[in-house]
Amino acid sequence: MVFVGAMRANASLHRPRARPGRWPVTGRLLTRDIPPPKPEKLAQDKKLPWLSMNRTLYGKPTRVQYKELVARWSHPAGRTLDGLRRNSC
49-81 confidence digits (pLDDT tens)? 999 999 998 999 999 888 887 666 555 545 555
The predicted pLDDT at position 66 comes to 85
CA dihedral 11, 17, 18, 24 (to 10 degrees): 110
Domain boundaries, the chain: 13-87
**What average pLDDT does this structure show over 34-46?**
73
Q: Residues 71, 10, 12, CA angle at the centre, nearest 5°?
A: 30
Q: What is the pTM of this model?
A: 0.47
Residue among 67, 69, 86 at smallest CA distance from 25 = 86
8-33 confidence digits (pLDDT tens)? 666 666 666 666 666 555 555 444 55
Flag whether pLDDT at 85 surpasses 50.
Answer: no
